[in-house]
Structure 1
Amino acid sequence: MTLLPLFILLLLIFSCKSDDLLTPSKPLLPGDKLLSNGGVFALGFFSLENSTTNSYLGIWYHNIPEREYVWVANRDNPITSSLSGKLVLTNSSDLVLSDSKGRILWTTGNNVTTGGDGAVALLLDTGNFILQSQNFTQIWQSFDQPTDTILPGFKLWANYKTHTAVRLVAWKDFQDPSTGKFILSRDPRTGFQILIWREASLYWRSGLWSSATASDNNGYIWSQIVDDGEEIYSTYNTGNSSRITHWKLDYTGDLILRSWNNQSWEPLFKRPDDGCRH
């Protein structure tokens, strides 16, 4: 009789499969998906309506009927034709996406030895896909390699000592996630302006933004700027936790703050409507 409670406990542990985790012993295959703990985001394979022969690995809102992709791993290397894809976490702590012929289409390229099965990849309710070691040290995150979308909590940073900055790159068009013409970043020289480039030409720049915080008139959306003397970043959030929003760099070059109104994506702000268009 004393073994029964232990048996039940072990049964519960092994039956409670974590749907937000990827481990070396648990690859992601077509038809599989990771769900963040609160069910906000999903990660898996998808195809677009106009090109069902190509498939991609991406992240989207799980409970919104209008599919909206916020991150795409292999945007310029789709899985083609009748081939299938597989995402694995290697023992060298790399995420590797390959097709059924063994061709590598995307990888994190960390090459950090964690000693066997210690590393895990985790999809968070923020939409961030992170890779961490067994001692919870973060090795890689999708927020450092964004596609075209800024989610709440994402840091739009620039290091004006090294003149580097994180970049968003728009889709090529509405149904093609490959690299488009428009690129957004903070000014890597000073960090106080946001720039949009059209290929090699400056398309738009914001005014100087140096205040610590800013918000809309209703206080629903607020932004914060942090400057440590070497790196500057801005991040935004929503005062209403139930409000689903994101900034999107559209393939037309517009930067749009969008909110889900339970029926469709509603534009709240649009840039460029101020600053300097070139």
Structure 2
Amino acid sequence: MTKTEVAKTEVAKTEVAKTEVAKTEVAKTEVAKTETAKTLTAPAAPVAAPARRVAASRLAAGAVVAGPLFLAAGVAQGAAREGFDFGRNALSQLALGAAGWIQTLNFLVAGALLLAGAAGLRRLLGGGPGGTWGPALTGVFALSFWAAAVFPADPGAGFPAGAPDATVLSAHGTAHLLAGTAGYLALCAAFVVLARPLAARGLRGWALASRLAPVAVLAGFAGSGASVVAFTAGAGLGLLWLAALTARLAAGAPQPAASAVATDWNQAPCEWGAGGPTSMPSSAAARA
């Protein structure tokens, strides 16, 4: 090979090397553009998603507060009202008499809080399991409280003071009973439906309890003929379980603990020798 040919070959190699360098620079530029785009767009999703979840959780808090508040107000009234006997009278009867407006307001407030809770559950669950029917059935339960406020229960069992022991069923009393029955049947169905998102989050114990809760609630209603206390216990259990499972769903899925090995690899310093890395994470070293 002549000197001229050798020179041409060297020039060709140099051009090839320059081309490879240029390609590398172009690739680096594209990577930099991609990283820049990610940096500019990434904050929107992480900020928006928690903001939506916080708003949904605040609405769902209505269903968490409604039951305990309604029951506490009812117990306080029952203890203060003359002639009221928890062993003979249902909390609904507190809407009767001169101070009945307090229990009527209690029904209205509870219904509003439950409606807010249903809306919060709808946002929390989205299009996931139970995300449509669970909140919808909870909303029906909420509306039954407003119906109970509009159509009061009938007097009886000595309350209000001076009322006869026997209860004569009226039109508004019938409407009150039907509203309560429809509402609690919807609530029991909601418990079964909402067991799905609980199970999907790995909360199998909660899911099982949510499927069993309707049995206890309906057992209380079935025993109301023998004891008003059984009815009150069943109704109260339904309100309290709704509060508990709503709070659990609002809390989100349990977060698994971070892998110790991954943490070691991410945090441990790594020194390179002639043949590759010369150090390893402590956990990996222990297994080596």
Global fold match (TM > 0.5)? no
TM-score (norm 1): 0.23
Bigger relative contact order, structure 1 or 2 (CA pairs below 8 A, ≥6 apart): 2
TM-score (norm 2): 0.22
The structure with the largest alpha-carbon Rg is 2
Q: Of Structure 1 and Structure 2, which has the larger fraction of its residues in helix?
A: 2
